[in-house]
């Protein structure tokens, strides 16, 4: 049994990890109220005092448009604080598993990004997350930086829930059809991260997402098809395609193609990450039909 500190435990991924790991480990789950990364020194001291075996940092300013306008604050939370937490983890002999993002990439590569592809963010959010990755790795090469993409799960609604809920109200779903990535189910991320808790696992950059590539339109259509087959959603029209350029409310630029391969974690797991369609089917049936 390991002692695991989870930062960002009120978020979509952090809450899922805190719940999943509590079965086999001693989990110390800190949300923003308890451990605000806006005060890196305080949080680093809390980590030293807790003296865990593992720290998972799932806390971040994740609103891409807010980061673009709140530059100083987002740099503090997404870059400076992870560096301070990484040093504190090293001081007490703990491994930090720091969650990062596909948005560190430019999105201009036409094939999936590998762990050693060079980041080139197109938004301030991506810049701050990349700076956070470097701060963590500079502190200790044994730490792990885990890039995830398009996170979905039961602890906080994401795009796929909004699409389903719109369809359930009988309204037409519209979704972007010219932006590609790989959805990541929080349950699958949590299962994969367990191999990184093994002290023998090498540090460095890992990609963890479900396999395959899709657009938001494909993602919504798949979730709706599963819900229709399960009788959760009445048959209705397919979602309507939008172009990224049609979304005028966006402040920050979005990278267009950020699907990722997960070679390093798959080698440690000894299996591939499961396809995003299977993960979506599992999620929709579990959350919306009350079980398989």
Ligand X SMILES: NC(=O)c1ccc[n+]([C@@H]2O[C@H](COP(=O)([O-])OP(=O)(O)OC[C@H]3O[C@@H](n4cnc5c(N)ncnc54)[C@H](OP(=O)(O)O)[C@@H]3O)[C@@H](O)[C@H]2O)c1
The secondary structure element, H or E, covering residue 44 is helix 40-50
The interface with ligand X within residues 69-108 (CB under 6 A) comprises 77, 99, 101-102
Q: Least distance in Å: CB of 118 to ligand X? A: 18
Contacts of residue 136, defined as CB under 8 A and 6 or more positions apart, other chains included, come to 82, 83, 86, 96, 98, 143, 145
- Closest residue to ligand X, judged by C-beta, is 11
Residues serving a catalytic function are 125
Q: E strands, the chain, where?
A: 3-7, 26-30, 54-57, 95-101, 144-148, 151-152, 174-176, 180-181, 184-185, 204-207, 214-215, 240-242
Residues ≥6 apart with Cβ < 8 Å to 11: 31, 58, 59, 62, 155, 156
Give how many residues touch ligand X by CB under 6 A.
Answer: 26
Q: Figure out which of the listed residues 5, 6, 62, 107 binds ligand X, where binding follows CB under 6 A.
A: 62
Q: Quick one: 29 or 284, whose CB is closer to ligand X?
A: 29
Shortest Å, Cβ 7 to ligand X: 6
* Closer residue to ligand X, CB minimum distance, 4 or 232: 4
Q: Select the residue interacting with ligand X from 5, 46, 54, 61 (CB under 6 A).
A: 61
Between 180 and 232, name the residue whose CB sits nearer to ligand X. 180
Interface residue with ligand X, options 4, 5, 6, 11 (CB under 6 A): 11
The DSSP 8-state label assigned to residue 112 in this structure reads: P
Measured distance CA(72)–CA(149) in Å, rounded: 24
Q: CB under 6 A: which stretch of 150-158, 193-201, 260-268, 274-282 binds ligand X?
A: 150-158
Residue 139 as a binder of ligand X (CB under 6 A): the answer is no
Could you say whether residue 37 binds ligand X (CB under 6 A)? yes
Structure tokens at 193: 């991260």
State the nearest-atom distance from the C-beta of 6 to ligand X, in Å: 10
Q: Which residues bind ligand X (CB under 6 A)?
A: 8, 10-14, 32, 35-38, 58-62, 77, 99, 101-102, 129, 148-151, 156
């Amino acid at each position: 049994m390991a002692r695991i500190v989870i930062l960002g435990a009120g978020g979509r991924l952090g809450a899922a990890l805190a719940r999943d790991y509590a079965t086999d480990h001693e989990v110390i789950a800190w949300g923003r109220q308890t451990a605000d990364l806006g005060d890196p020194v305080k949080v680093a001291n809390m980590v030293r005092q807790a003296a865990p075996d593992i720290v998972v940092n799932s806390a971040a300013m994740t609103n891409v448009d807010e980061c673009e306008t709140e530059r100083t604050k987002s740099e503090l939370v997404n870059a400076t604080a992870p560096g301070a937490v990484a040093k504190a983890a090293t001081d007490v002999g703990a491994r930090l598993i720091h969650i990062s993002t596909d948005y560190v990439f430019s999105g201009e590569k036409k094939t999936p990004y590998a762990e050693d592809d060079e980041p080139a963010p197109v938004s301030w959010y991506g810049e701050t997350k990349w700076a956070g990755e470097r701060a963590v790795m500079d502190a200790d090469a044994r730490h792990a930086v885990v890039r995830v993409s398009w996170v979905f799960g039961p602890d906080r609604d994401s795009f796929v829930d909004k699409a389903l809920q719109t369809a359930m109200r009988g309204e037409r779903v519209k979704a972007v059809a010219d932006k590609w990535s790989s959805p990541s189910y929080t349950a699958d991320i949590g299962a994969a991260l367990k191999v990184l808790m093994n002290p023998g696992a090498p540090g460095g950059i890992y990609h963890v997402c479900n396999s395959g590539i899709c657009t938001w339109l494909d993602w919504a259509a798949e979730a709706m098809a599963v819900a229709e087959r399960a009788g959760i959603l009445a048959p209705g029209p397919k979602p309507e395609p939008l172009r990224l350029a049609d979304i005028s409310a966006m402040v920050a630029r979005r990278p267009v193609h950020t699907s990722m391969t997960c070679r390093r974690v798959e080698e440690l797991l000894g299996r591939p990450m499961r396809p995003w369609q299977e993960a979506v089917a599992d999620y929709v049936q579990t959350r919306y039909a009350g079980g398989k």
